[in-house]
Amino acid sequence: MGAAIHKGTILVHRVFDIAGEIVLGRAEQLLSADKGPRLRFATDTRKAIIMKESPLKADLGEEVLDLPSGKYPIRIFARVWNYGVISITTELAIPPGTPWERLIKMAAELEKSEEIDLLAISRKDAMKKRLLPALVNPAEWEINEDYITYIIEKADGLEDPKDFIRKVDVAALILAEDKERLGEESRNFIIDSAIQYSTSDLAIIDWNSALLIEPDGERDAADVIEFSLTHLLEFRYYDDMLGRKLEELYDTMETKQESVVHIFRNFYSDIAEDASRKYMEFSEFLGRVENSLKTVGDPYLAVVFRASALEFHFDDWRKSISRKMETLAQISQILHGEVNTRRSHWLEIIIILLIAVEMIPMMVDLWKFLQRY
């Protein structure tokens, strides 16, 4: 079940939502000292993923990562996405000659490493501070996404990738399971999900990590996975945001805060207007995702993107958000109707009172007239 890895890389991603939007032109000026290039796909695949703006990439320097199995030199990169996301990637070169069993052990250690999280958070905080003038509505969400991509370029028996993944314990690597031996059914399920473009490359994409066999060292598929990961974070953000908006509406309805003081002000209008803005934001974001799926030009990257979308449950998140949007719209409409009804009642009372006030002088004159006679 073993094979030596002679050349490969591990990419550990941490993705953060730090603002409503990042103005990349301004961000590029602020990061110009880093000389970080924008993300570019290879010539033949540049049209594979359509983005409103390509993200910025910045080199954040080198560190040494201390794991139980040893110390590993790492390089840290950041990508800045226009929809308010920063992805921090730790790149670790697999030591030449690493046995597959040791790679599995490294995977388990990386999954448990708190140092990776601390490095990513510190780099993210530093980036956010530098990018502050380029942030629109800066507000950091407490949730972040994590993912690991293993890229194998050279290994024993790699001439036939399909045969290679059946000789090594791919499932243990993907699931970072270095203690328990997985059942045959679990291993076969992961192996059977492999996708290929040519006979020399291969990709296995799971919800928590991916294995890419790339003899030419191409990073396009890894870039597409990272791109999908940022979208997953945005799906989760909008779902959470809409959930909080619904809770806010429910709480408002329970407290019955409408009163005489609010006759001429719709207490719920601020919530409804904010929900409408969020709905427009999500509609734009959803359109960007759908366009990415429709306008792919490279078939392999298209399959990689769809596989990522499937593993990250894009459809489930989309349905959840749509249901919450519909519920939010219905509740907002009901509340608007209730408030307008109350306003109508109060206006009727005011009109009656005004008529009564106008009749007071007439009643006084009538009383005086009756007193005389």
What does 106-165 look like in DSSP terms, one character per residue? HHHHHHH-HHHHHHHHHHHHHHHHHHGGGEEEE---S-EEEEEEEEEEEETTTTSHHHHH
Same domain, 310 and 192: no
Same domain, 185 and 244: no
User: Which of 165, 198, 227 is at the close of a domain?
Assistant: 227
Structural domain count of the chain: 2
Q: Domain for residue 369, yes or no?
A: no
325: enclosing H helix or E strand: helix 314-372
pLDDT of 40 above 90: no
C-alpha 277 chain-centroid distance: 18
Q: Mean pLDDT, to the nearest integer, of 35-52?
A: 50
Q: Domain for residue 322, yes or no?
A: yes
C-alpha 199 chain-centroid distance: 33
pLDDT of 290 above 80: no
**pTM for this prediction:** 0.82
Q: Which range among 103-107, 133-137, 284-288 shows the weakest confidence by mean pLDDT? A: 284-288
Q: Please classify residue 151 by burial: count the beta carbons closer than 10 Å to its beta carbon, then call 0-12 exposed, 13-18 middle and 19+ buried.
A: buried
Q: Domain for residue 368, yes or no?
A: no
Same domain, 188 and 295: no
pLDDT of 119 above 50: yes
Same domain, 140 and 182: yes
Same domain, 220 and 237: no
C-alpha 86 chain-centroid distance: 10
Same domain, 43 and 125: yes
What are all long-range contacts of 74-78, with beta carbons under 8 Å and residues at least 24 apart? 76/119, 76/123, 78/36, 78/123, 78/124, 78/127
C-alpha 173 chain-centroid distance: 25
Between the alpha carbon of residue 110 and those of residues 86, 103, 177, 287, the distances in Å are 21, 10, 11, 35
Helix axes 220-255, 299-311, angle to 10 degrees: 30
pLDDT of 293 above 60: no
Segment 71-88, tens digit of pLDDT:
999 999 999 998 899 999
Same domain, 180 and 250: no
Q: Domain for residue 367, yes or no?
A: no
Phi, psi of 77 (to 5 degrees): -125, 160
Q: Please classify residue 28 by burial: count the beta carbons closer than 10 Å to its beta carbon, then call 0-12 exposed, 13-18 middle and 19+ buried.
A: middle
Q: Domain for residue 348, yes or no?
A: yes
The whole-number pLDDT of residue 131 equals 93
Same domain, 162 and 51: yes
Segment 164-175, tens digit of pLDDT:
998 899 999 998
Distance CA 272, CA 349 (A): 28
User: Which of 192, 227, 262 is at the close of a domain?
Assistant: 227
Same domain, 204 and 278: no
Segment 120-138, tens digit of pLDDT:
999 999 999 999 999 998 9
Same domain, 202 and 270: no
Residue 2 near residue 101 (C-beta atoms within 8 A): yes
Q: Domain for residue 274, yes or no?
A: yes
The whole-number pLDDT of residue 198 equals 84
Structure-token match 């509505």, residue found: 137
Q: Domain for residue 370, yes or no?
A: no
Structure-token match 């790339």, residue found: 214
Same domain, 172 and 246: no
User: Which of 211, 227, 243 is at the close of a domain?
Assistant: 227
Same domain, 221 and 310: no
Q: Domain for residue 371, yes or no?
A: no
Between the alpha carbon of residue 59 and those of residues 26, 36, 92, the distances in Å are 18, 6, 14
Q: Provide the domain limits for residue 72.
A: 4-227
More confident residue, 264 or 94: 94
